[in-house]
Amino acid sequence: MEDRICVVTGAASGIGAATAGHLERSGAKVIRCDVRDADVLADLTTQEGRAALVAGVTAASGGRIDGLVAVAGIALPSELTVRLNFFGTIATLEGLRPLLSASPQPRAVAVSSLSAIVAADEGLARSCLTMDEDAAAAAARALVESGQGRAIYPSSKLALNRWLRRTALSWAQDGIPLNAVAPGVVDTETARTTFLDDPRTRALVAAAMPQPLGFPGPVEAIASLLAWTVSAGNAFMTGQILYADGGAEATLRAGSTR
């Protein structure tokens, strides 16, 4: 990773912070992006924040980045989850793509989620993929009003997976591998405060997303995989959704050939 310039969004906490630290220890220069405690401050739920991200990273990098790790995301039962997880992530990838094109060995990765195959709403996912942000936000609000707000997070990740699979080939034509890592449940502060600290909710999530290698999983395992996907060593993999979930996806899809 020496001499590589990497951008990490959502770098102030959780998987983003762990990934930024891993990359730095490996010798990379890291540009940390978040709404607080970061080199570039940007709210990716807004058009203004997305423009600020591109401008800030362009200035901080000198016009070239080698790796982009799009981690920023939230899991609120709110339209903001769609605006950040799907539209904000795509704006990050597309907005910084010209800076990646200036690198001799560019790599990009987004963070998805195992939950995309467990609890997503197809209607919201399809709405996201129309690329009409306001319509997708309205669909998210409708889920909240019907008491199904918890489906917004996995739906945003399912839409991201589908967008990435459709888009990675055009990126490959420019020599940029584009992939996603889909973690299972890992031991972050957000996971603890959201459900891990509550025994009943923890048991329900563990049953829905069984992880034979341990529940919750270690954050560093996700960070190291994300770091590898944006390393020079990842020269021949693109368009993949990599499940780093302690065996949950294999358990849930046991016997499936898909």
The string of DSSP codes covering 58-97 is: HHHHTS--SEEEE------SSHHHHIIIIIIHHHHHHHHH
Cis bond before residue 216 (omega within 30° of 0): yes
Strands 40-41 and 67-70: unpaired
pTM score of the predicted model: 0.96
Tens place of pLDDT per residue across the chain (258 aa): 889 999 999 999 999 999 999 999 999 999 999 999 999 999 999 999 999 999 999 999 999 999 999 999 999 999 999 999 999 999 999 999 999 999 999 999 999 999 999 989 999 999 999 999 999 999 999 999 999 999 999 999 999 999 999 999 999 999 999 999 999 999 998 888 888 899 999 999 999 999 999 999 999 999 999 999 999 999 999 999 999 999 999 999 986 655
Active site residues: 153
Alpha helices in the chain (DSSP H): 14-25, 47-61, 79-82, 89-101, 122-129, 133-145, 152-173, 189-191, 199-208, 219-229, 248-252
